[in-house]
C-alpha cells in the first residue's frame, strides 16, 4: 500500500504508436481540424494527435509562437485520460508520429502514387 | 418372484437413466437454439440501428453540402449519441475493429460539432470542405461496417 507511484513514461507508448502506424496497423482518420488526427485501439481507447500553439523563446532570446504536437489519450466515453506534450518525449518522436498520422489520415501515399502515374501519362 | 421384480426394477432404472440423458441433451440443444435465435434477433436489430445511423450520416452530408449548419448540428448530435450508445449496448455483438471504427467516427464527429459550434457563435470561420470531407468519410465507414454486419447475417455466420 505504501508503494511510490512512479511517473508514467510516455516514450514506450509513443514508440509503439509509431511502429504500429508505420506497419499500417493504425488507421489514423482526419477531423474537422486539418491539424488533428484520431485513431482507436482495443475497442475502448482513442488517440488524438494535434498541433497546439505555444509561446517559445528562440535562439536570439525572443518570444515566438510555434505549433507543437500533443498526443491525447481518451477513454471509451471520450474523456481525456492522458496528455503527452512534445517536451516529454526526447528527440522529435512526437513530431514524427504527427507526420505519420497526417500521411495516413490524408491518404498521402495514394495521392502521391496517383500524381506520379498522372505525370507519367503526360 | 422377487428376482423378477429385481430384474424389472433394474431395467426400469436403466431406461429412466437413458431417458433423462436424452431429455438433458434435448434441453441443451433447445437452449443453444434459443440463444442463437436471440443473438440473431439482436444482430438484426444492431443492423437496423446502424442503418439509421448511416441515414443520419447521409442527411448530415446533405445539410453540410447546402450550408444548412443548424440542421447539420442537430444531425451531428444525434449521430454522436447513437455512436456513443451502440458499443455499450451491443458490445457483445461487435468485433474490436467495429468498436474502433465507431469510436473513431464519434471522435471525428465531435470535431465537426466543435467547428459548427464555433462558427455559429461567430468565433471563427468554417472550413466547409474539410467538415464535408470528414462527414463523408464517417458515413462511408459506417456503411462499410453495416455491410460487414449484413454480410454475416446473410451468410448466417457469427460476427
A1 pLDDT band, cuts 50/70/90, is: low
Mean pLDDT of the residues in chain A: 91
**For residue A2, pLDDT beyond 70:** no
| Residue range A35-78, pLDDT digits in tens | 999 999 999 999 999 999 888 888 888 888 889 999 999 998 88
Q: CATH number for the B39-155 domain, one of 3.20.20.150, 3.40.50.300, 1.20.120.660, 3.40.50.720?
A: 1.20.120.660
* Distance of residue A118 Cα from the nearest chain B Cα, in angstroms: 23
**A32–B115 C-beta distance less than 8 A:** yes
**For residue A83, pLDDT beyond 90:** yes
Chain B's closest residue to A78, CA to CA, is B107
What cell was used for A31?
477531423
Residue A6 lies in a domain: no
Compute the half-sphere exposure of residue A81: CA atoms within 13 Å on the CB side of its CA.
12
Domain ranges across chain B: 39-155
Residue B121's pLDDT is what?
83
The stretch B129-150 carries a mean pLDDT of 93
Sheet of strand A29-30, all strands in order from the earlier edge strand to the far edge: A29-30, A36-41, A45-57, A63-74, A80-85
Residue B56's pLDDT is what?
94
The domain in which residue A23 lies consists of 11-113
Residue A121 lies in a domain: no
The stretch B5-18 carries a mean pLDDT of 90
Residue B158's pLDDT is what?
66
Rounded to 5 degrees, φ, ψ at A4 are -80, 135
A11 at B interface, C-beta within 8 A: no
Report the Cα–Cα distance between both ends of chain B, in Å, rounded: 63
SS3 state of residue B136: helix
Interface-testing mutation among A43, A76, A102, with chain B (most B C-beta atoms within 10 A): A43
Residue A3's pLDDT is what?
67
Q: In terms of DSSP bridges, do strands A45-57 and A80-85 run parallel, antiparallel, or are they unpaired?
A: unpaired
| Of B76, B82, B59, B79, residue with least CA distance to B119 | B76
- pTM higher than 0.90: no
Q: What's the burial of B122, exposed, middle or buried (CB within 10 Å: 0-12/13-18/19+)?
A: exposed
B77 pLDDT band, cuts 50/70/90, is: very high
Share of chain B above pLDDT 70, in %: 98
Alpha helices in B92-127 (DSSP H): 96-120
**A33–B107 C-beta distance less than 8 A:** no
Residue A24 lies in a domain: yes
**For residue A84, pLDDT beyond 80:** yes
Residue A1 lies in a domain: no
User: CA–CA separation, A105 vs A26, rounded Å?
Assistant: 10
Give the number of domains in chain A.
Answer: 1
**B112–A32 C-beta distance less than 8 A:** yes
Chain A's closest residue to B103, CA to CA, is A40
Amino acid at each position: 500500500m505504501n508503494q511510490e507511484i512512479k511517473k508514467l513514461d510516455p516514450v514506450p507508448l509513443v514508440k509503439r504508436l509509431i511502429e504500429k502506424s508505420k506497419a499500417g496497423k493504425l488507421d489514423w482518420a482526419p477531423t474537422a481540424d486539418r491539424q488533428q488526427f484520431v485513431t482507436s485501439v482495443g475497442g475502448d481507447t482513442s488517440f488524438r494527435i494535434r498541433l497546439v500553439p505555444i509561446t517559445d523563446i528562440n535562439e536570439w532570446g525572443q518570444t515566438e509562437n510555434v505549433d507543437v504536437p500533443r498526443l491525447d489519450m481518451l477513454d471509451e466515453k471520450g474523456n481525456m485520460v492522458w496528455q503527452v506534450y512534445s517536451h516529454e518525449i526526447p528527440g522529435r518522436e512526437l513530431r514524427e508520429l504527427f507526420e505519420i498520422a497526417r500521411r495516413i489520415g490524408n491518404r498521402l501515399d495514394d495521392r502521391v502514387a496517383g500524381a506520379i502515374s498522372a505525370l507519367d501519362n503526360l | 418372484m422377487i428376482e423378477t421384480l429385481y430384474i424389472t426394477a433394474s431395467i426400469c432404472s436403466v431406461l429412466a437413466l437413458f431417458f433423462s440423458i436424452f431429455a438433458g441433451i434435448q434441453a441443451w440443444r433447445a437452449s443453444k437454439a434459443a440463444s442463437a435465435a436471440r443473438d440473431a434477433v439482436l444482430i438484426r436489430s444492431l443492423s437496423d440501428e446502424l442503418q439509421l445511423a448511416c441515414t443520419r450520416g447521409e442527411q448530415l452530408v446533405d445539410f453540410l453540402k447546402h450550408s444548412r449548419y443548424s440542421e447539420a448540428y442537430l444531425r451531428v448530435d444525434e449521430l454522436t449519441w447513437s455512436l456513443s450508445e451502440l458499443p455499450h449496448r451491443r458490445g457483445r455483438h461487435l468485433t474490436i475493429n467495429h468498436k474502433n471504427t465507431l469510436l473513431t467516427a464519434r471522435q471525428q464527429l465531435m470535431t465537426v460539432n466543435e467547428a459548427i459550434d464555433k462558427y455559429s457563435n461567430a468565433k471563427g470561420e468554417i472550413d466547409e470542405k474539410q467538415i464535408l470531407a470528414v462527414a463523408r468519410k464517417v458515413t462511408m465507414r459506417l456503411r462499410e461496417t453495416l455491410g460487414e454486419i449484413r454480410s454475416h447475417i446473410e451468410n448466417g455466420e457469427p460476427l
